[in-house]
Structure formats: C-alpha cells, structure tokens
Amino acid sequence: MPRPSATEPAPDQPGGQPGAGSGPLLRFAAASKRYSSRDFGDRWAVREVDLSVLAGKTVSIVGESGSGKSTMIRMAMGLITPDEGSVEFGGQQWSRLTRKERRAQRGRIGMVFQEPFGALDPRQRIWEIVVEPLTVHQRGISKPERQERARQALELVGLNADMLKKLPAQLSGGQQQRVGIARAIVGRPELVLLDEPTSALDLSVQAQLLELLVELRAELATTYVLVSHDLHVAAYLADQVLVLKDGTAMESGTVDEVFDSPASPYTRELLRAQLG
C-alpha cells in the first residue's frame, strides 16, 4: 500500500497568513515508536507516520483505541521521543534539545487532557492550577498579577471569578474541563494539543465545549491538534484529518476529502460504524 502523503495544503489553498513563518509549526517525519516486551515481542505504537501541521490550522488525529493517537500527541509534546524518524516543533527536533530546552519549548504549547478531574491537582486552588504555565515559564510575574491572568483566562472559558479559590472537586465535569482549557491557553500558546477533550463528558456539555473551542481558536488564532475517536467531533472542529490504525497512517487529507471520498477501506469502515 502506498504511503499516504503528508498533510499539506495545495499552493492555491487559503491557509495561514501571507508571509507567515516558513515550514509547518509541528511536523512528524516518518516518526516511529516501538515498545518491546518479553512476552509479546516488538510492537509498534506508531509506525512511520508523516504529518505536517501549519500554523492556524486544526488537524485531527482519528483512530480507535490502540491506534497510536495518544502516543502521537505525546510525541508532539516531546514527552515521548521517537525511536526512528523525527518530530519537530517550530522547526526544532525535540530529540536534539536538552531537557531544559525541551521544558522551555513546552511553554509554547498547551495541552488539554481527556479526564476533566484527573488532570487537575485535587489539592490546589483553581487559580493556581490555571496559572501554572505562567508560574513555570514567566517567573517575574507577581502573585496578584498571576491571579488577574487566571481570572482573565477563566473569563475566556466562560467561568466566573468566584471559581478562582475553589477546589477541583467542587466543580462539575464540564467546569473542570473548562479549567483545563483555561490552563492550556493562559500562556497564549502557539499550539494547543487536545487529547479526546470531550469524550468523558455528556453530549450537551460536549456541545458547549466544542463551541467554546471554536470561539477560542478564532480569538487566540492558535493551532489545534485534536485527537479523537469520534469522527463527528473531528469533522466539526478540524480542517484536516489523519486516520490511524495500529500505529500506521491509513489516510490523510482535508475533512471534506476524507469524509466524502475516503480512499482507504478502513476509513470507509470507520465511517460506516459511526452511529447517530
């Protein structure tokens, strides 16, 4: 089977701003990650995957469990290094950076996790949680300033200032996830990674959060990389889609291309299996 091409827009497609920085914001080049185990031998979590994400775009990585999508998003963050190939952020390969440089680069990326409550330190106040990226990367800001930035971030995600001093357990699932989003954007990152951000939430709450993500994207002009097992969510948010199965890229292209004329039989099967 021919390897699917990297996701890059055709020259005549509108995308990015004129004169934007050269090269994609995030790039996977034949990235592979292997896990060895005594009992089961080698298993490829991700195998020779190419993906280019241009600034301002939303790319969704779609697949079922075990497809490697969670591994990919951690590779995008530099938390997992590929065994073969490379992953570049902002033109720099994660594996070429020192640990300190990697940590610094993460200041330019925000991440939202699947678990609304689990992703928040249960013993910290909401404002402390939201403002952690600033505490880590911008040492100079005073505490009252940080609280103000937290308040602004909460406002952006539709939460009241009276949430600032609360503990995570006092919030509903939807509110907790909004806090997670506030934390991801408080440092105005260039890239936001979203690992199944709504799959643990009720349908109506999911709809609210999806709408919020669309608003934020317009307001902050960030790039999103979204991992999802739900094709409808991917189709709603993303410009481009990468379909993964067992670590291998099955298909990639714009949302319309993949949904209207899927080239891979696996994509067709996935589309057929989606209910509702």
Partner 1 sequence: MTADAQAGAEAPGKASGEPVLSITDLSVRYRIGQSTVHAVNEATVTVRSGDIVGIIGETGSGKTTIVRSLLRLLPPNASISAGQALFTSAGIATDLVSCDRRAHRRLLGPQIGFVPQDTVGALSPVRTVWRHFQDTFAAHGQAGNRQQWRAQAEQLLGEMNFPDPARVLNQYPHELSGGMAQRVVIALAISLNPALLIADEPTSGLDATSKARALQSLTALSANHGCAVIIVTHDIGVVRAFCDQAAVMYGGFVVEAGNAAALLDHPAHPYTRALLGSVPRRGQPLTPLRGRVGTLLELPVGCPFIDRCPQVHDERCAVSRPPLAEREPGHYAATFCH
Partner 2 sequence: MIGEVIQPAGGPAGQPWRNGQAATRLLSGTRGNSALIAACVWLVGSVLAAVVAPLPYSPTAPNPAAVLAPPSGAHWLGTDQNGTDVLSRVIAAASNDIPLALAGALVAAILGGAAGVALSRDGRITDACMRLLDLFQSLPVLVVALTIVALAGSSFTNVVVALGLIMIPQFVRITRAEALVVRSHRFIEASDAIGASGLRVTFRHVLPNVMPVVLAQLSLSAGMGLLAIAGLGFLGVGVQPSTPSWGLMLNGGAQFIGTGQWWVLIPPAGAIVLSVLSFNALARGLQRLLEKEPRDL
Between 226 and 245, how does the x/- string for binding to partner 1 read (CB under 8 A)?
A: ---x-xxx-xxx--------
Helix (H/G/I), strand (E/B), else coil: 88: strand
CA triple 11-15-16, angle to 5 deg:
120
Shortest reach from residue 120's CB to partner 2, in Å: 6
Distance of CA 146 to the CA centre of its chain: 25
Partner touching 169 among partner 2, partner 1, none, CB below 5 to 8 Å by kind: partner 2
Interaction pattern, residues 14-53, with partner 1; x per rule: CB under 8 A: ----------------------------------------
| Binding site partner of 22, from partner 2, partner 1, none, Cβ cut-off 5-8 A by kind | none
Q: What is the DSSP letter of 160?
A: -
- CB 70 → partner 2: shortest distance, Å? 11
Residue 233: is it exposed, middle or buried by C-beta count within 10 angstroms (0-12/13-18/19+)? buried
Nearer to partner 1, 73 or 234 (CB): 234
What distance in Å separates the CA atoms of residue 164 and residue 23, rounded to the nearest whole number?
39
Residues 73-132 that bind partner 1 (CB under 8 A): none
Beta-carbon count within 10 A of 36 CB: 9
d(CA 247, CA 245): 5
Footprint on this chain of partner 1 (rule: CB under 8 A): 64-65, 172-174, 202-208, 210-211, 229, 231-233, 235-237, 255-256, 259, 269-270, 273-276
